[in-house]
A = this chain, B = another copy of it.
Amino acid sequence: MSSITCFGEILLRLSPLNGYERISRTNELKMEYAGAESNVAASLSLLGHRAWYITRLPSHGVGDAAVRAIREFGVNTESIVRGGERVGTYFIEHGSSLRPTRIIYDREHSAIADSSPDEFNWQQLLDGQDWFVSTGITPALSASCAQLCTKALATAKVLGVKTAFDLNFRRSLWSLEEGRKTLQPMLDHVDILFSNIGSAADVLDIHPTERGYSWEELVKSTWETAEKLMKYREFEWVALTIRAHHSATENDWAGILYNGTDRYESRKYRFQIVDRLGGGDAFMAGVIHGLSQGWDGQKTVEFASAASAIKHTIPGDINISSEEEILEVAEGNVSGRVKR
């Protein structure tokens, strides 16, 4: 098993307690904590790795709860810096059928966004680790976070820590220009790049020749993007996800994995969605797990895609599944028969 450090923001996630209610009409909220990198950390810890999560959280009840939420999964939280005023927050309204899921972000001025670069000693934090994980959301939070994330990636490379980075471009957080200026230089330190067609277009101006919406066209375009990413810079691996939207509650999904030579593509899943959030993070954790276990590319991409598929059927952002459960789906058992 590996030692893995994840860095980012964990947010207070608020969603209507009763199913498909709209935020403007609900009276009760489910109170959870989630973030791309903390989701990955939790998944990896559940899969047996030693995971550390690095962030900054205020010293009050909401901050304490966020720490507990991630510690519950066995993630080491001892290096979390306590300080700042608020926990970034988002409201989810789960869509249904033709009504889309909507997210209202209220994450500005969060403790991590307001952190100062010298609050984290990356040399110390990454020493002896096997992997460093972050995503394009983190540098988008503030200039300080961009600096921290860049520093972390650079330090990782110096220390021989493998780096995994998901482009995860969020238009609500910054402009294409800002994003590109910040993210492109960071990619020099990235070993395993995670993306999809959209993020590659946003961050690197990489576009498939034609864009169609049938599954076959989506697969083709994703492979074309993968090749162009590999030409942009020789990553160790690029891992991309493919999603076709039938509705807010039914999607098709697959993943691909490419090292410039070998092409691995998972089976295609069709699933009914219980909770859409965290699907990409489950895939990222799955790929890291497969690579760190020394599995071959096909097994790895099947595992990661199965992990993501299962995640879509579990409430919350985190893929609370065992390796055994994921492997069973990866091997094609999607009949949903009762396990007694």
Contact = CB atoms under 8 A, between A and B. Distances in A.
A175 B100 CA distance: 42
Interface of A is mostly: loop
A28 B17 contact: yes
Contacts of A309: 98
A23 interface: yes
Contact of A245 (B20, B68, B335): B335
- Max chain B CB contacts within 10 Å: which of A64, A91, A99, A249? A99
Contacts of A95: 313, 336, 338
Nearest to A26: B31
Contacts of A248: 336-337
Contacts of A18: 17, 30, 315
- Max chain B CB contacts within 10 Å: which of A21, A106, A109, A247? A106
Contacts of A336: 95-101, 245-249
Band of interface residues on A: 35 or more
A61 B91 contact: yes
A27 B24 contact: no
Copies of this polypeptide in the complex: 6
Nearest to A98: B334
A65 interface: yes
A85 interface: yes
A331 to B, nearest CB: 12
A313 B99 contact: yes
A159 interface: no
- Max chain B CB contacts within 10 Å: which of A69, A105, A338? A338
A336 B243 CA distance: 12
A312 interface: yes
Interface in A274-304: 274, 276
Contact of A61 (B17, B62, B104, B316): B104
B61 A85 contact: no
A338 B247 contact: no
Contacts of A249: 272, 336
A189 interface: no
A17 B26 CA distance: 13
A120 interface: no
Interface string A156-181: 00000000000000111000000000
8 contacts: A14-B14, A29-B31, A62-B104, A96-B274, A97-B273, A98-B313, A100-B338, A103-B340
Interface of A: 14, 17-32, 60-62, 64-65, 68-69, 71-74, 77, 85-87, 89, 91, 93, 95-106, 108-109, 170-172, 245-249, 269, 271-274, 276, 309-310, 312-316, 320, 329, 334-340
